[in-house]
Structure 1
Amino acid sequence: MINNYFWDFDGTLFDTYPEMVKAFQEALRLQNVIATRTEIYKIMREKSVRQAIQIYQETNLNLDVEQLRVSYDDLERQSQKNTKLFPGAKEVCKWVVDNGGQNFLLTHRDQSAIDMLRETHIIHLFSDFVTSDQKFPRKPNPASLNYLVEKNAVDYQKAAMIGDRELDIAAGHNAGMKGYLFDFDQMISTVEKPDKRVLKLIDLIQK
C-alpha cells in the first residue's frame, strides 16, 4: 500500500494560484505591462512562475526582471492570508497517518510554506519538510526526495510524490517512487505518465 506521501505545496495542498496570478498581474502593471489573468494562469499552471518571468521578459524588453521578482514576492506574500487548503487535503493527510504512513512537504517555497501548514492546523500531520531554504536542486531533480526518504527511512515502494505539474511526476519517478498528478482543472498534458491522475484529492484514497 502507498502510504507515504510527498506533497508539493502550490496548486496541490493549497489553492494558491488565484493569489499568485493576481500578484503577478499587479507586479507587471507596476511596470506598465498589461496581461490578463487567464494568460498568466495558463503559463503558471503549465510551467512555473520562473518561466512566466522569462516569457514576459522576452516579449517586453524594457521589463526590469529583478524588480518584477521583488514586486511579485512582496504582493504574493501579503496575499497568503487568503489562501486555503484544497478540499480533501486534510482528510488525505490524516488518512495517511491513520494508516501507518507519513506525509512530507517538498516545495520550492521558503519557510512561509511551513508557516501556512501551522496556520491551517495540519502541521502535526507532517513528519518532515524540504523548502527552498535548503538549497536542493529544483524538481524534477530527485535529490530532495532522496534526502527525505533516506533521513526518514521510507520504503520507496510505499511512497508517492503528489503534485499538479509534470515536473512533480518526473521527480517522483526519478527517485524511484510513484508519481501522482492532481489535475484539478484538466489542463495538464504529460509526457511522463502519472501512476494516478485525480481531479479531487480525496480520490487519491478512494477505491
Structure 2
Amino acid sequence: MDIGIFLDRDGVINEVLSNRVKFVNKPKDFYLLDGVGEAIKKFNGAGYKVFVVTNQGGIGLGYMKETGLHAVHEQMAKDLEGYGAYVDDVSYCPHKPHAGCACRKPEPKMIIDLAKKHRIDIKRSYMVGDREPDIVAGKQAGTKTVLVGNRREEANADYYFSDLLSFSNWLLPN
C-alpha cells in the first residue's frame, strides 16, 4: 500500500485571502504559494501519492459552477507541471457550509474515499492543512496531521510548519 499526502488547497497550495486574491473562483485567481511546486515534486519523486481535499462551498452558495472549479484545477495542474510536479487525484465538497453533508471537512469522507480508491495506507499518511477543520478531518480519517501557515489556531496538529516546502524538507531531508 502507498503512503498519501492529502493537501487542503486554499492556503496550502495556493493563495487565498491575500493582497492579490480573496477567493479562487476563476483560473486567473489561482497563484501557487512559494515552494509548493518544489514540495509536491519532492513528494512525487519519493513515491508518495499526492491528493487535494478541498471544501468548495462557493459552488453550493452559487459563486461558481463545478465547470469553473474544474478550470481552476486544470490551472493548478498546469502550474505544477511547470515544476515537474503533479497531483494524483482531487476530491472536493461542493456543498454549502453547514449543509450537514458527510464530505465537508472536518468530516473525513474525502480522505477515506481517496485512500480506498488508491489503496493508501492511511495510518502512514499525512493530512496537511492551514485550518482546524483540515486537522480534525485528518485525525478522524486516521492520518498524521500537519498545520502549515502562520495562523496559530488551536488545531492540535501532530506537526507544525511555516509552509508546505518546510514540511517536505523535514519529511524528505535530501
TM-score by length of 1: 0.64
Aligned to 1:153: 119
Aligned to 2:153: 189
Residue identity over aligned pairs, in percent, reads: 23
Report the 3-state secondary structure (helix = DSSP H, G, I; strand = E; otherwise coil) of the residue aligned with 1:157. helix
Q: 1:81 Cα deviation (Å)?
A: 1.1
Seen in structure 2, the aligned counterparts of structure 1 residues 3 and 137 have a Cα distance that, compared at 3 Å, is: closer
Structure 1's unaligned 5+ residue stretches are 24-75
Counterpart CA distance in 2 for 1:120 and 1:136 is 31
Q: 1:97 Cα deviation (Å)?
A: 1.1
Which residue of the other structure, out of 135, 141, 146, is the alignment partner of 2:107?
141
Q: 1:82 Cα deviation (Å)?
A: 4.2
Q: 1:195 Cα deviation (Å)?
A: 1.3
Matches within 5 A, 1:156-171: 156-171=122-137
Q: Once superposed, which parts of structure 1, at least 4 consecutive aligned residues long, lie more than 2 Å away? A: 18-21, 109-113, 121-124, 132-137
Matches within 5 A, 1:109-120: 109=56, 110-120=69-79
Q: 1:20 Cα deviation (Å)?
A: 4.9
CA contact (8 A) 1:179 1:196 kept: yes
Q: 1:3 Cα deviation (Å)?
A: 4.9
Q: Which has the larger radius of gyration?
A: 1
The size of the alignment, in residue pairs, is 149
Report the 3-state secondary structure (helix = DSSP H, G, I; strand = E; otherwise coil) of the residue aligned with 1:153. coil
Report the 3-state secondary structure (helix = DSSP H, G, I; strand = E; otherwise coil) of the residue aligned with 2:89. strand
Matches within 5 A, 1:1-207: 3-18=3-18, 19-21=20-22, 77=25, 80-109=27-56, 110-122=69-81, 125-133=86-94, 137-183=103-149, 185=150, 187-190=151-154, 192-207=155-170
Counterpart CA distance in 1 for 2:85 and 2:46 is 15
Structure 2's unaligned 5+ residue stretches are 57-68, 96-100
Aligned to 1:55: none
Counterpart CA distance in 2 for 1:116 and 1:132 is 19
Counterpart CA distance in 2 for 1:189 and 1:92 is 23
Seen in structure 2, the aligned counterparts of structure 1 residues 114 and 136 have a Cα distance that, compared at 3 Å, is: farther
Q: 1:77 Cα deviation (Å)?
A: 3.0
Q: 1:143 Cα deviation (Å)?
A: 0.9
Q: Could you tell me which amino acid in structure 1 is paired with residue 109 of structure 2? A: A
Report the 3-state secondary structure (helix = DSSP H, G, I; strand = E; otherwise coil) of the residue aligned with 1:205. helix
The alignment yields a C-alpha RMSD, in angstroms, of 2.5
CA contact (8 A) 2:15 2:32 kept: yes
Q: 1:5 Cα deviation (Å)?
A: 0.8
Report the 3-state secondary structure (helix = DSSP H, G, I; strand = E; otherwise coil) of the residue aligned with 1:10. coil
Report the 3-state secondary structure (helix = DSSP H, G, I; strand = E; otherwise coil) of the residue aligned with 2:88. strand
Which protein has the bigger helix share? 1
